[in-house]
Chains A and B, each alone.
Chain A
């Protein structure tokens, strides 16, 4: 009788879709070509002009300069440390508060209003207070990356917890589930996909705030390098810094998503077929 029952099996997500990857690479290549054309021809479109934009070749040369520079490792490692520290702190606070706020109306009423008040404040506005509040500029910078990552993580966690199907909780209670077990075995795993989304977005916003954070820095950091290049008017270096932040941000978000997939083998996001 089991033979009569059809088993829904999704196609495996593995394999290497050559067609899609070549399309992705081609898209990046076209953007580069367009940039090259606009910059070398000094195209001016009225409201936007590319006359002073460094062309890709110059940026590549600047990038090679940075890569061969002895300061590279110091820049990269101090930025990675700051982003990582800010992100971990934001993940702990965001997921913790999110679980609490999502489950308890009282926690929502007491904790959420002040947080909502702080949420729209941009990272750059925090700089003076961050300097005043923390003993070292290192901690001030970590705090600013923290503010960037906190809210996406917090809000996605709340959303995930509030979205848990009440029938699942009722079932768990009917099966003898204790308060604690319902939290660890039902609510957290049910909210996990949403939490991972929040972490991936938070990782991105962490990098987003890096330049702001490292304005405080005296010496090192990719954000500092970008900011310093601006004050020194090394435009090609600015673009190198921007691209480095983009690459690191994209890479670390992808790491989070990958870790999420490994930890949640049951969760298969809806994929389009074509």
Chain B
């Protein structure tokens, strides 16, 4: 596929400060890593460690205060449809039918209506939602809403897919189904995926590589390459190797930075601090 050569993420000495005045704090400090085109990388870390902040910078919604963030050598300055962002809670447009939600990106590109609806229909079939085109988002279950959200991002054929705990709000069974679906889609389109989670099982099940982050200010404290064969099935989660890696990561997270790790930090969003306080230029 044409995407496979595109979608290299390069992050060098990235630092991000959030908040202003006395409230300002260092969300990320000196973070550096690369993601290969077509690679599936999970960023794993405790709540509030700045992993969503990092995603926000990659999406182009947050300003960096140090270092650089680039995709395919191009520094990121603003949001772009080539970098698709999926939030933990869906951001579907309640007033648009499922089909029009998915077709939104193509509408912005000026694709004629018949053509964009045809492609949206195809993508809905890919995520297993044929027959739900004319529903409104509020008429779908949480898992289905998240599938529409993913389809809506994929219609732009993004070079990188940025996912902020996309299945974190789903029940365990739906989450498992969504993980398999995501791997299935990823195997077909081969786009780069940067997936944020605090669920160790999820990271181990999905990723080619896991980057473990410390509590705030977030730094990468460990890199794990996973050689589990693909396609992966649920049975993987009960293998001895899986359990071994899980224990290793648990230990890492527990001993990362002892004093700071104890206190639970509030969740950050890819848009900065608390989502409600963000105000855009337009």
Instruction: Give me the interface of A with B, judged by CB distance under 8 Å.
Output: 1-2, 4-10, 103, 105, 165-179, 181-182, 185-186, 189-190, 192, 264-268
Contacts and interface: CB of A to CB of B under 8 A. Distances in A.
How big is chain B's contact interface, by range? 35 or more
Contacts of B109: 176
Interface string B61-73: 1000000000000
A267 B95 CA distance: 8
B75 interface: no
Interface of B: 59-61, 78-81, 83-85, 87, 89, 91, 93-96, 104-105, 107-109, 128-129, 131, 136-141, 143-144, 152-153, 156, 173-174, 177, 269-271, 275-276, 278-280, 282
14 contacts: A8-B138, A167-B271, A167-B275, A168-B93, A170-B79, A172-B93, A175-B105, A178-B108, A185-B93, A189-B96, A265-B136, A266-B95, A266-B136, A267-B94
B79 A173 contact: yes
B275 A175 contact: no
Contacts of A170: 59, 61, 79, 85, 91, 270-271, 280
Contacts of B96: 185, 189, 266
B139 A9 contact: yes
A175 B136 contact: no
Instruction: Pick from A166, A168, A182 the residue with the most CB of B within 10 Å.
Output: A166
Contacts of B174: 5
Contact of A166 (B83, B129, B275): B275
Given A4-B173, A8-B139, 17 more contacts: A5-B174, A7-B144, A8-B138, A8-B140, A8-B141, A166-B271, A167-B275, A170-B85, A170-B91, A170-B271, A174-B81, A174-B83, A174-B84, A175-B81, A175-B104, A177-B108, A185-B93
A2 B129 CA distance: 8
B153 A175 contact: yes
A2 B279 contact: no
Task: Please provide the 10 A-B residue pairs with the shortest distance between their CB atoms, ordered closest to farther.
Answer: A176-B81, A171-B91, A176-B108, A189-B95, A173-B79, A266-B136, A175-B105, A174-B79, A174-B85, A166-B278
Contacts of B87: 167, 171
Nearest to B83: A174
B245 to A, nearest CB: 28
A189 B96 CA distance: 9
A185 B104 contact: yes
Contacts of B136: 265-266
A196 B267 CA distance: 34
A269 B109 CA distance: 34
